[in-house]
Amino acid sequence: MAAEMMSSRRFFYVKPRSMLIVLLLLTAILAAAPSWLSAGTLRQISEFLFVFAMAESWNLLAGFVGLISLGHQGFVGIGAYSLFMIANASGISPHFAMLFALVISALAAAAIAPFLFRLRDAYFSIAIWVVAEIARTATAKSHWLGSSIGVVLEATRHMDRTWLAIGIYWWAVGIGIGSIALLFLLVRSRLGLALMAVRDNDLTAASVGIDVGRARFIAFVLSGALCGIAGAGYSMLSYHIDPNGAYDGNWVVVMLFITIIGGIGTIEGPIIGTAIYFGLREEMGDIGNWYLILMGSVAVIAMIAMRRGIWGTLTRKFAFELFSVRRLPPL
Amino acid sequence: MTVLQTIINGLFLGALYGLFGLGLAFAFGIMRIVNVAQGEFMVLATYIGLMLMPWLPVHPLVLIIPVALIAFGFGYAVQGSILNRVLDKDPMPSLLITFGISIVLRNLMVQVWSADFRSINIGKLKFMGFDVLGLRIGLLPLVIFGTVILLFVALYLLMTQTRFGRLIRATADDYETIQFFGVDYRRVYCVAMGISAALSAAAGMLIAMRSAFNPFSGVDRLLISFEVVIIGGLGSLWGMIVGGMVLGVAQLVSLQYDPNAGLMYAHIVFFLILMVMPSGISAWRRR
């Protein structure tokens, strides 16, 4: 079914409905995977999918709305802390508390958006970094939030570790695949068209009747919520969080690297980017921060020499798209 | 009385924060580039200063001059070799590139000098001071304040009184027209980034005389610079000092009541200002 192509002059792309069916099949296969994969492999896949979803949340803003966030680690931290605090305080299953992480991150995004949107371009980017710093320092100072030592996920103490890991894995599959579906559906929707118009030229977009502020707001809240729940899921993998880890500025470095190297503004790009990131980390993980230095250099070089990233360059060269965001004119 | 003394110290520190902002605003005003690596420029310059110290047996205050010259060359090279390649109307590439540079510099500095805290030893000056109307004024903050004002005045004179300053301002206004007069705007950009880096280097040296730093201090420095620029308003040299003083006072006064809060309250004050006076801030325009 995926092979069913449509052509618009030179460009080939797969029918959107076919891609959604592919996604459903992929979800079904991944969801059944615990019956034959080892616990270690499941954990690696979970990690991969959570980081991938964070990168997609960053890509949603940078690639489709034109907002560069240098403070997305704030959402990772807020998502993680919401999950841990709510699960510990109420005794509900952490798997259920994931939903609260989603809601609280969305609310946090909605609360700070009005301030941040007063600033443009790079000033927006740094202002959200300031917010993340405030959140980190405030968390580290709060006794209730475990100060700088952090919090342990106590709710998992009496749970079966095997089933807990499988539950986290299922969340990872849902969030990872869900992030692709979210971006795909969003970008192809009416709102998605509005977002890309805002990204390309906000004044022109406003002049054709697009509510620029509303479009940006919705995208920002969606991005924050996705990043928050992915961060919560990632933190559940280790049952412990602390402010410097959860609000680590290197989260943004990872998201940015994955998106830029894969292809900013493409849905498929971050899949490649995440694979490269984990490959690099595997290879260079034990030699300190050299992989950060390498990631920074690669991002700089890519922005100069290959701005479309790997996937963007490939689609140009071979005129082929999987999750196409273009629309065909009626014949 | 201690509150008054803290406020005065905050004003001195704030003027230095104004110099932080000046480096950032200067580059933005001319090239429309927000240099996210500015904090790392400052910290790197300080490490270079520390390395020069055994070779140049002069007072650290004098050492600022060679360090600023090296920083000028560094800024010039970064602009010429990297940033001049991405001078389009889209602000995204230059933002991401300077962010990438900041990551590389920060982690290279950790690799070379480790994450240990260092500071510039200024000898007896640190403990000297005098009493005015019952208030103890430290000599070092006063000297730093004087140096900052000197740099502001020097830049002001350079920009308004010299032929070179006119050239820079003309390039900032219209880099296309200036080419009809035989000016290579790319070289002007290199010089401008060099000046920005030299100002940042001076600021980095001065703050390191007051407090310890490590390679991760660059982030705090960038955030302060940014807040100073937003509060002070672009295009206003003296607005930078006012913006810096607001943050300096906020930081030192809050530390009196909550010693381990770091810059948190300064950041919060920044957001409060952003909330109550958006009109002074919404004037930012794209190129």
Supply the Cα-derived Rg of chain B in whole angstroms: 19
Phi/psi of residue A241, nearest 5 degrees: -135, 150
CB contact, 8 Å: B222 with chain A? Answer: yes
Which residue, among B94, B103, B105, B228, would best test binding to A if mutated, counting the most A CBs under 10 Å from its CB?
A: B103
Residue-wise pLDDT for B139-153, tens only, equals 888 999 999 999 999
pLDDT band at A304 (very low <50, low <70, confident <90, very high): confident
CB contact, 8 Å: A20 with chain B? Answer: no
Residue-wise pLDDT for A30-53, tens only, equals 888 888 888 889 999 999 999 999
Enumerate helices (H) and strands (E) in chain A, giving the number of each: 14, 5
Strand runs labelled E in B84-218: 129-132, 135-138
CB B151 within 8 A of CB B157: no
CB B36 within 8 A of CB A122: yes
Q: Round to whole Å and give the CA distance between A98 and B58.
A: 60
Residue-wise pLDDT for B14-72, tens only, equals 999 999 999 999 998 888 888 999 999 999 999 999 999 888 888 888 899 999 999 99
Residue in A118, A256, A295 closest to B96 by CB? A256
CB contact, 8 Å: A201 with chain B? Answer: no
B-contacting residues in A 222-281 (Cβ below 8 Å): 249, 253, 256, 260
Contact residues for A304 (Cβ-Cβ < 8 A; gap 6+) = B82, B85, B86, B93, B97
Class of residue B153 by CB neighbours under 10 A (exposed 0-12, middle 13-18, buried 19+): exposed
Instruction: Note the pLDDT of residue A2.
Output: 38
Mean pLDDT computed over every residue of chain B: 87
List the single residue in B with minimal CA-CA distance to A302.
B97
Residue B235 clears pLDDT 90, i.e. is over it: no
Are B103 and A253 within 8 A, CB to CB?
Answer: yes
ipTM of the complex: 0.87
Chain A residue numbers with beta carbons less than 8 Å from the beta carbon of B103 are 253, 292-293, 295-296, 299
Most confident of B74-78, B117-121, B263-267: B74-78
Phi/psi of residue A5, nearest 5 degrees: -105, 155
CB contact, 8 Å: A293 with chain B? Answer: yes
Residue B126 clears pLDDT 70, i.e. is over it: yes
d(CA A201, nearest CA chain B) in Å = 10
Instruction: Note the pLDDT of residue B283.
Output: 46
d(CA B21, nearest CA chain A) in Å = 13
Domain boundaries, chain A: 13-248
In three-state form (DSSP H/G/I as H, E/B as E, the rest C), the secondary structure along A145-211 is CCHHHCEECHHHCCCCHHHHHHHHHHHHHHHHHHHHHHHHHHHHCHHHHHHHHHHHCHHHHHHCCCC
Are B108 and A293 within 8 A, CB to CB?
Answer: yes
List the single residue in B with minimal CA-CA distance to A133.
B264
List the single residue in B with minimal CA-CA distance to A308.
B93
Chain A residue numbers with beta carbons less than 8 Å from the beta carbon of B264 are 133-134, 137-138, 141
Residue-wise pLDDT for A79-94, tens only, equals 999 999 998 888 888 8
Cα dihedral: A289, A291, A292, A297 (round 10): 130
